[in-house]
Amino acid sequence: MDAFYASVEERDRPELRGRPVIVGADPRGRGVVSAASYEARRFGVDSAMPIGKAARLCPHAAFLPVDMEKYARVSGQIMAILSEYSPLVEPISVDEAFLDVMGTDRLLGPPLEVARAIKAHLRREVKLTASAGVAPNKFLAKLASDLEKPDGLVEVKPGEEMAFLKDLPIERLWGVGRITAEAIRRMGIETIGQLAGLPVQVLERRFGKSGRHLHALARGRDDRPVEPFTPPKSMGAEETFSSDHRDLERLEVTLRAQAERVARELRLAGCLGKTVTLKVRFSDFRTVTRRLSGEPTQEGLEIFRRARSLLEGVRLVDPVRLIGVSVSGLVSSDADQLHLFPDPAVRRARLAQAVDALVERFGDRTLIAARLLMRPRQQD
């Protein structure tokens, strides 16, 4: 979808159309931009940019808070429409998905016509525009969908993969961020075509196993199937503070709240996680991460204890701008075998489920850890 959050807001508030629209944190705070309309992007505003910088670049924009409940509802409508064209739909975010339309030619026509039909259906039903890429594999389809936004449609036919890629900059390859791009440029490589011309052994010596992957992508090869029911790989929460600080008590209280939020998401998804990851970003944007693995868990207190032990190993020399916790190594909670007699872990799990039921019925502050009672709701 094109500038999804901002486009939904413009659809629902016609007076915003034609104006720069920025969805995200309060511009007086320290959060980030979640979405920017194309009018705002002309001023240099983009997603994940600090909201203060966005306000300086485009002070006359309409700044709106994130309404995730509304966006999720619209996302459900979009995914339902996509499923009418293929049973193989793989959502990769709230506003983006892969479809495998192989074998639908007799019913729906060639793939390019399917993409046109989907775009028209979305415009008609949800009053939003989408950009589509049609290609032999996921990498090329994703790349093609980004090239002519908004309301774009780009096709890469079988046999044209190398011609399509050859003049594009190396940053267009999946997995090539700033650091990898700098390393590739030091080899005298600027375009994907130049990278594809290197022997794969050269890339393997320089980048290890990922070198072979880069070489395959540069030649337009990607064998991953469209997977409709891919389970989540991790769940997490993070928070940008309204002002940088070194207050250890405040950091721990923030982690406690985040751990409870992540634990509830794990329980709702029927998952347990083995690895807890702590993320700390300092005032100079230096970011450190620490990981600790143990028995699979979906308990907020256990997640917090692991995160706190990781925080104890981080030197808080500079003020902290952001802190977050995530849980990965997920397994199904169905695999968690209950013992014949309840042990403390089983009792805590049952207690958590009872709390979830109360929260679901009476609200998210019905039962909370005592340590969080005085914690104000964050607006960032």
The per-residue pLDDT for range 276-313, each reduced to its tens digit, is 999 999 988 889 999 999 999 999 999 999 999 999 99
Tokens of 208: 């290890």
Return the pLDDT at 311. Answer: 96
d(CA 289, CA 307) in angstroms, rounded, equals: 11
pLDDT band at 374 (very low <50, low <70, confident <90, very high): low
d(CA 330, CA 263) in angstroms, rounded, equals: 12
Which of the pair, 177 or 132, is modelled with greater confidence? 132
Q: For 136-153, how does the pLDDT look when each residue is reduced to its tens digit (9 = 90+)?
A: 999 999 999 999 999 999
Q: Rounded to the nearest 5 degrees, what angle is found at the Cα of 281, between the Cα atoms of 278 and 286?
A: 120
To 10 degrees, what angle do helices 4-12 and 68-82 make?
100
Percent share of the chain, pLDDT over 70: 87
Residue partners of 120: CB distance under 8 A and separation at least 6: none
Q: Which residue in 39, 69, 96, 155 is the catalytic one?
A: 96
Q: For 177-207, how does the pLDDT look when each residue is reduced to its tens digit (9 = 90+)?
A: 888 899 999 999 999 999 999 999 999 999 8
Mean pLDDT within 164-187: 91
**Which residues sit opposite 326 in a β-bridge?**
236, 277
Percent share of the chain, pLDDT over 90: 69
Mean pLDDT within 53-68: 95
To 10 degrees, what angle do helices 111-125 and 68-82 make?
140
DSSP state of 341: S
Give the count of beta carbons closer than 10 Å to the beta carbon of residue 119: 18
Return the pLDDT at 339. Answer: 46
Q: For 254-273, how does the pLDDT look when each residue is reduced to its tens digit (9 = 90+)?
A: 999 999 999 988 988 888 99
Walk me through the domains of the chain, giving residue ranges and CATH numbers. 4-66 (3.40.1170.60), 161-218 (1.10.150.20), 234-372 (3.30.1490.100)
Task: Tell me which residue of 196, 192, 314 sits closest to 248, measured CA to CA.
Answer: 314
204 is catalytic: no
pTM: 0.69
pLDDT band at 240 (very low <50, low <70, confident <90, very high): confident
* Main-chain dihedrals φ then ψ at residue 199, nearest 5 degrees: -60, 140
Mean pLDDT within 361-372: 58
